[in-house]
């Protein structure tokens, strides 16, 4: 660069201290320069290494500490990089340094190139006035730095830089020092910096061609940089642990903007259809818009009419039609006008994913060869190493940026691998890539990190992070889908297991909907990734749900006692059997889940993406039309698309895509859409107004079905029951119930109704007892079983609702011997059983009237009213009654006709199975079927009751000991002890030789065992008399 301006003038414009500039210039001039004899020869300075280190100290001590860019600006003006190129070329010409003697001057040059090419990523919050002054100049300088490095006449600058990393790489990991690790990272950072400079905009076309992606790939391949990267990738993590993140960054910038499917397509010479010239391919695919009138041979020249308006403005109209009449000319002038929507000049959204780049054929071949070697050399280990570092929150992971880069690289290489397999491209080792090699990228831990990364991106509205995660998830679904349809059994079983774990999580289904609804007013790249992921996800989920009809998902509505830190992809049984960690599962219905994608917020991203149809290819347009076909045709949700924007957009797409390969599908859908629209407009003329606006769900439902949507009334649940202590007698229980009702003014008004019900019940029960009384007194009092229960009816639905919702009124009726029936307000009633006599009812009336006049507040022993009852809450819910089952009065009198009463009901444990059994709806049946079922139940009940014995009278006393049995048992034990003691005494008193203690003990035990066996045999045969004989035999045997 030219530095001929005066120092004072430059200091005023760029704000750099003249003294600082003088120091930097003196250091740069002392580094070296061209020889006076031959300008082509570069001569190093006397202390070149010291000068390079001093410049490095200025960069670190001034720019980094003070957060300024003054030293970098001075170095760019002094053209330090030109000198560094000459020094590196000079060191490379001398040969590769030995392992014990690295090139210190070359390493010092690399230490300066890294900060000079470091990314200038300044945000609005971190920008200062100094940054604003120097940022644009330094960005252009970095572009020239990259040009000098890649296009130097020696052609070995990158090679000379990478040579400095070879000695540390040759050292074993256990013996490698931190300085060695730093040198390797320094070289990798230089490669990363050169790759990211490609995003900068340079006005000079020559510079742009020299720093393009094609030129960069060619230089990296020619100078051996790809070999260095492959060596490091193959050694992760055994040999290189700290360099994995930097390598992922290099791959990210290398693959940024590259079409991976086009990269894996065979070259044109081998039968492919890849265009050689991207510009010629674009011009060939362009077509003139149909709406514009093309000029003919007669309108290009000839009559030209100038129309002068009243305000003096002139309008020029060509053609002979303007000569006939003035109105004709004005009409032609108006027809040529076209309203163009004003463009929003707002700030563009900065994304980390750039636009598509076009590679030359040679660059494509080199990059394809390199990526194939990356997949073979161990990219799975590199991915797993970085993923584990993310899980550990390692220091070398800088936030979500590195996570996004990892998923971008992983998704790109999976797309590249799928394209290689589909095209049948042979890798370096003469084999075809197998999809099972991506199994490391599809582990459950990877999906956990992925979904957490997407969720955090949605919460922070970091759309780049969401886009990278969606891109990876899309390619993962495609890889697993290809594995299912492969012929390899191992791949098929692996894919089934992955899909089973993925689709088991309900949180994943909700996350996909949330991601789709975040696509409003986003960039084209974001919408492309978003719509592709939704399309692939719905297709895979639909196929999997059809092949697995019993698919269940883990609902997010789990029990409260369950721990929230359970691994959702853990397959161990310990997680499901621990207390408090029971999973709540429910069956999955794809139609019900698909209905969540029918909302306008879910359709809007596809319409926005389809709005760029002029820039989209056929597969992208087909994807959008396929989603609209799924909603409009398969699900029949037609009204949601009857909007002016969708109508105009579909007509434009059908008009402008005429002649394309997918025009038949687009035209067929638009034709069907138009017919449905015309039919709806005829049925509901109000739709002419509604197509201008987004329709609410209420209006859309009315237009779709022709009626308003009915409201679902939530049925009220029965209140918790009140239980009075069983120790209280009948009169006190009535007193407590009456006092509780009297405390509530709203319910105390029901006393009159209760009194009338009691009097009616005692009158009706008295008449029934007289009719059913026995003719002879010897028949007993079993005639009560032949009575009929009395059903108490309410005065109306509101009256029934009052009793249904009041547990105090229900308690009062219970203590008065009425039983509540029904679990719904419409079926609720009171029932007086046939076991209650008229005398009992009369006693209840007396107690009720007594305590109604004078309610109690406590008892004589000092207990309060609140201490006499408890509220029992039914946590499991009440099982609804059968609406078709009527009360069978004929079966009530049969209870006491059996020899024994019914067995007591076993107390069943509260299991989770019982909950789902009571909530099933029963089919409606007619009267005859209900009567037949009641008769069958009655017969089965009678058979069961006839087989019941005295199970009610079995008590705990039956397990007490019997005296005779105990006496016999203890007598046998006494005889056994005597026999064992005598056998021991006889053995010790005999004159036998001394034997070891172990043998003596064993002989005693054997003899005792034989004696016990004989005694047991004698007892079992003769009873008590055998005991004496057994005893004598024992003595005889002992004397022997």
Decide which of 485 and 895 is more confident: 485
CA distance 609 to 518: 13
SS3 call for 308: strand
SS3 call for 971: helix
For the segment 166-175, the average pLDDT, to the nearest whole number, is 90
Instruction: Write the Ramachandran bin of 97: left for phi over 0, alpha for psi from -120 to 50, otherwise beta.
Output: beta
| DSSP code per residue over 496-521 | HHHHHHHHTBHHHHHHHHHHHTT-TT
Query: Roughly what angle, to the nearest 10 degrees, separates helices 213-222 and 129-150?
Result: 50
Residue 230 scores a pLDDT above 60:
yes
From residue 25, give the alpha-carbon distance in Å to each of 4, 41, 79: 13, 21, 10
From the centroid of its chain, how far is CA 974? Answer: 75
What band does 887 get if pLDDT is binned at 50, 70 and 90? very low
What band does 1015 get if pLDDT is binned at 50, 70 and 90? very low
CA distance 185 to 267: 36
pLDDT score at 387: 93
Decide which of 689 and 429 is more confident: 689
Q: For strands 790-792 and 721-724, give the pairing.
A: unpaired
Residue 191 scores a pLDDT above 50:
yes
Residue 1007 lies in a domain: yes
Q: With CA atoms as reference, report the closest residue to 202 among 211, 194, 193.
A: 211
pLDDT score at 457: 92
Q: With CA atoms as reference, report the closest residue to 892 among 767, 784, 772.
A: 784
pLDDT score at 915: 36
Q: List the structure tokens of 593.
A: 């889940």
Q: Which domain-ending residue is among 827, 853, 881?
A: 881
Q: Which domain-ending residue is among 832, 866, 881?
A: 881
Residue 247 scores a pLDDT above 90:
yes
Q: Which domain-ending residue is among 822, 846, 881?
A: 881
Q: What is the pTM of this model?
A: 0.65
CA distance 875 to 720: 9
- CB atoms under 10 Å from CB of 535, counted, come to 18
SS3 call for 721: strand
- The helix, strand and coil proportions of the chain, stated in percent and rounded to the nearest 5, come to 60, 5, 35
Residue 769 lies in a domain: yes
- CB atoms under 10 Å from CB of 498, counted, come to 22
Residue 940 scores a pLDDT above 70:
yes
How does pLDDT run across 120-146, given as a tens digit for each residue? 888 778 888 988 888 888 988 998 899
What band does 579 get if pLDDT is binned at 50, 70 and 90? very low
Provide the β-strand partners of residue 147: none
SS3 call for 282: helix
C-beta separation of 116 from 145 below 8 A: yes
Residue 78 scores a pLDDT above 60:
yes
For the segment 579-601, the average pLDDT, to the nearest whole number, is 75
Query: Roughly what angle, to the nearest 10 degrees, separates helices 104-116 and 129-150?
Result: 130
CA distance 726 to 301: 112
Task: Tell the residue number behind the tokens 């005597």, with chain if given.
Answer: 978
SS3 call for 612: coil
Residue 911 lies in a domain: no
Q: Which H/E stretch holds residue 44?
A: strand 42-44
Q: With CA atoms as reference, report the closest residue to 816 among 762, 892, 768, 758.
A: 758
pLDDT score at 733: 84
Q: How many domains does the chain have?
A: 2
Provide the β-strand partners of residue 100: none
What band does 422 get if pLDDT is binned at 50, 70 and 90? confident
CA distance 164 to 175: 18
Residue 195 lies in a domain: no
How does pLDDT run across 332-358, given as a tens digit for each residue? 667 766 666 655 544 445 567 777 888
Q: What is residue 213's DSSP assignment?
A: H
pLDDT score at 205: 55
C-beta separation of 785 from 895 below 8 A: yes
Residue 904 scores a pLDDT above 70:
no
Q: What is residue 962's DSSP assignment?
A: P
CA 487, 489, 493 angle in degrees (round to 5)?
120
pLDDT score at 743: 79
Rg (C-alpha) for the chain, rounded Å, is: 47
Average pLDDT, the chain: 76
Residue 406 lies in a domain: no
- Mark out the alpha helices in 956-996 (DSSP H runs): 963-989
How does pLDDT run across 13-42, given as a tens digit for each residue? 667 889 999 999 999 999 988 888 887 888
Task: Tell the residue number behind the tokens 């563009």, with chain if given.
Answer: 348
Residues 6+ apart with CB under 8 A from 144: 1, 81, 207
Residue 54 scores a pLDDT above 80:
yes
Q: Are residues 735 and 866 in the same domain?
A: yes
CA distance 390 to 382: 13
pLDDT score at 878: 37
Q: List the structure tokens of 1018.
A: 């004698």
How does pLDDT run across 426-446, given as a tens digit for each residue? 766 666 778 888 888 999 999
pLDDT score at 471: 93
Residue 447 scores a pLDDT above 90:
yes
Decide which of 747 and 248 is more confident: 248
pLDDT score at 803: 82
User: Which residue range(s) make up the domain with 1019?
Assistant: 999-1031
CA distance 157 to 804: 90
pLDDT score at 117: 93
For the segment 914-924, the average pLDDT, to the nearest whole number, is 42
* CA trace torsion 475, 481, 484, 488 (10° rounding): -40
CA distance 1 to 662: 54
Residue 828 lies in a domain: yes
Q: With CA atoms as reference, report the closest residue to 983 among 1018, 1035, 1030.
A: 1035
| DSSP code per residue over 832-846 | E-TT--HHHHHHHHH
CA distance 644 to 120: 45
Q: Are residues 875 and 1016 in the same domain?
A: no
pLDDT score at 225: 92
Residue 712 lies in a domain: no
Residue 494 lies in a domain: no
Choose the weakest-confidence range: 494-503, 850-859, 870-879.
Answer: 870-879
Q: With CA atoms as reference, report the closest residue to 677 among 648, 633, 647, 634.
A: 647
How does pLDDT run across 268-302, given as a tens digit for each residue? 544 434 444 555 555 555 554 444 444 455 444 55
CA distance 1005 to 1025: 27
Give the 3-state secondary structure of 874-918. CCCCCCCCCCCCCCCCCCHHHHHHCCCCCCCCCCCCCCCHHHHHH
Residue 212 scores a pLDDT above 50:
yes
CA distance 914 to 906: 15
Residue 496 scores a pLDDT above 50:
yes
Task: Tell the residue number behind the tokens 């009571």, with chain if given.
Answer: 918
Peptide linkage before 237 cis (omega within 30 of 0): yes
Q: What percent of the chain has pLDDT over 70?
A: 70
C-beta separation of 516 from 510 below 8 A: no
């Amino acid at each position: 660069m030219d530095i001929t301006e005066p120092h004072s003038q430059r200091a005023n414009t760029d704000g750099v201290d003249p003294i600082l500039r003088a120091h930097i210039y003196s250091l740069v001039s002392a580094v070296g320069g061209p020889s006076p004899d031959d300008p082509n020869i570069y001569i190093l300075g006397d202390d070149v290494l010291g000068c390079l280190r001093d410049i490095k100290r200025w960069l670190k001590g001034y720019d980094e500490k003070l957060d300024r860019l003054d030293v970098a600006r001075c170095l760019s003006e002094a053209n330090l990089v030109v000198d560094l190129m000459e020094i590196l070329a000079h060191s490379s010409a001398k040969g590769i340094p030995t392992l014990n003697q690295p090139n210190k001057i070359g390493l010092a040059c690399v230490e300066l190139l890294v900060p000079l090419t470091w990314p200038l990523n300044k945000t609005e919050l971190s920008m200062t006035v100094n940054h604003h002054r120097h940022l644009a100049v330094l960005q252009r300088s970095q572009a020239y730095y990259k040009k000098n490095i890649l296009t130097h006449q020696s052609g070995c600058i990158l090679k000379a830089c990478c040579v400095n990393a070879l000695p540390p790489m040759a050292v074993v990991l256990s013996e490698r020092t931190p300085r060695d690790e730093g040198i390797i990272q320094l070289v990798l950072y230089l490669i990363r910096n050169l790759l990211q400079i490609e995003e900068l905009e340079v006005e000079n076309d020559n510079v742009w061609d020299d720093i393009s992606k094609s030129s960069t790939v060619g230089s990296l391949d020619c100078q051996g940089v790809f070999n260095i990267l492959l060596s490091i990738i193959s050694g992760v993590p055994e040999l290189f642990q700290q360099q994995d993140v930097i390598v992922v960054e290099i791959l990210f910038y290398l693959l940024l903007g590259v079409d991976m499917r086009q990269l894996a397509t065979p070259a044109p010479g081998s039968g492919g259809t890849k265009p050689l010239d991207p510009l010629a391919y674009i011009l060939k695919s362009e077509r003139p818009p149909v709406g514009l009138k093309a000029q003919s041979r007669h309108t290009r020249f000839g009559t030209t009419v100038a129309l002068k308006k009243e305000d003096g403005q002139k309008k020029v109209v060509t053609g002979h039609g303007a000569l006939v009449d003035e109105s004709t000319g004005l009409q032609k002038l108006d027809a040529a006008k076209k309203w163009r929507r004003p463009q929003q000049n707002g700030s563009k959204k900065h994304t980390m994913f750039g636009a598509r780049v076009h590679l030359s054929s040679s660059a494509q071949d080199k990059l394809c060869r390199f990526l194939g070697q990356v997949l073979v050399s161990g990219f799975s280990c590199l991915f797993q190493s970085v993923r584990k570092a993310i899980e550990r929150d390692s220091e070398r992971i800088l936030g979500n940026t590195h996570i996004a880069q990892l998923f971008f690289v992983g998704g790109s290489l999976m797309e590249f691998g799928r394209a290689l397999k589909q095209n049948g491209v042979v890798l370096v080792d003469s084999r075809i890539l197998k999809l099972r090699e991506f199994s490391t990228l599809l582990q459950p831990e990877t999906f956990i990190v992925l979904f957490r990364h997407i969720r955090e991106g949605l919460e922070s509205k970091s759309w780049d992070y969401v886009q990278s995660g969606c891109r990876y998830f899309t390619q993962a679904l495609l890889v697993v889908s290809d594995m299912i349809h492969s012929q390899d059994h191992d791949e098929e079983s692996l894919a089934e297991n992955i899909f089973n774990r993925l689709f088991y999580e309900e949180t994943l289904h909700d996350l996909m909907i949330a991601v789709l609804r975040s696509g409003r007013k986003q960039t084209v790249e974001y919408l492309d990734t978003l719509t592709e992921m939704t399309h692939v996800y719905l297709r895979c989920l639909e196929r999997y749900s059809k092949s697995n009809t019993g698919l269940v998902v883990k609902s997010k509505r789990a029990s409260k006692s369950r721990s929230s830190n359970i691994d959702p992809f853990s397959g161990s049984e310990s997680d499901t059997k621990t207390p408090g960690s029971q999973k709540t599962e429910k069956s999955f219905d794809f139609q019900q889940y698909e209905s969540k994608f029918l909302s306008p917020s879910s359709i809007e991203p596809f319409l926005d993406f389809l709005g760029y149809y002029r820039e989209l290819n056929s597969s992208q347009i087909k994807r959008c039309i396929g989603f609209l076909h799924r909603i409009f045709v398969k699900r029949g949700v037609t009204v949601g698309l009857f909007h002016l924007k969708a109508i105009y957009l579909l007509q434009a797409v059908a008009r402008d895509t005429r002649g394309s390969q997918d025009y038949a599908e687009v035209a067929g859908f638009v034709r069907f859409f138009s017919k449905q629209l015309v039919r709806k407009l005829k049925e509901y003329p109000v739709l002419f107004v509604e197509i201008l606006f987004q329709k609410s769900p209420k209006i859309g439902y009315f237009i779709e079905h022709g009626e308003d949507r009915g409201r679902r009334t939530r049925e009220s649940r029965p209140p918790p029951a009140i239980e009075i202590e069983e120790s209280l007698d009948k009169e006190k229980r009535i007193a407590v119930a009456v006092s509780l009702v009297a405390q509530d003014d709203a319910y105390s008004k029901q006393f009159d109704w209760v009194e009338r019900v009691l009097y009616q019940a005692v009158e009706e029960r008295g008449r029934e007892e007289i009719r059913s009384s026995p003719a002879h007194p010897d028949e007993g009092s079993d005639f009560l079983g032949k009575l009929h229960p009395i059903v108490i009816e309410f005065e109306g639905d509101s009256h029934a609702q009052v009793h249904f919702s009041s547990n105090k009124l229900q308690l009062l009726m219970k203590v008065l011997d009425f039983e509540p029936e029904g679990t719904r307000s419409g079926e609720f009633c009171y029932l007086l059983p046939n076991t209650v006599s008229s005398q009992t009812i009369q006693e209840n009336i007396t107690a009720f009237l007594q305590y109604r006049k004078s309610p109690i507040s406590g008892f004589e022993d000092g207990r309060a009213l609140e201490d006499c009852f408890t509220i029992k809450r039914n946590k499991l819910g009440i099982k609804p009654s059968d609406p078709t089952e009527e009360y069978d009065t004929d079966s009530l009198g049969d209870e006491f006709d059996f020899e024994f009463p019914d067995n007591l009901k076993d107390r069943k444990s509260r299991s989770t199975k019982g909950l789902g059994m009571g909530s099933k709806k029963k089919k409606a049946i007619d009267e005859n079927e209900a009567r037949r079922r009641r008769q069958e139940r009655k017969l089965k009940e009678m058979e069961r009751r006839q087989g019941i014995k005295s199970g009610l009278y079995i008590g705990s006393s039956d397990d007490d000991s019997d005296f005779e049995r105990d006496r016999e048992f203890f007598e046998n034990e006494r005889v056994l002890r005597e026999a064992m003691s005598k056998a021991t005494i006889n053995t010790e008193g005999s004159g036998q030789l001394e034997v070891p203690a172990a043998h003596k003990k064993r002989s005693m035990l054997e003899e005792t065992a034989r004696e016990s066996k004989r005694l047991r045999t004698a007892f079992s045969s003769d009873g008590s008399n055998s005991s004496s004989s057994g005893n004598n035999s024992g003595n005889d045997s002992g004397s022997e």
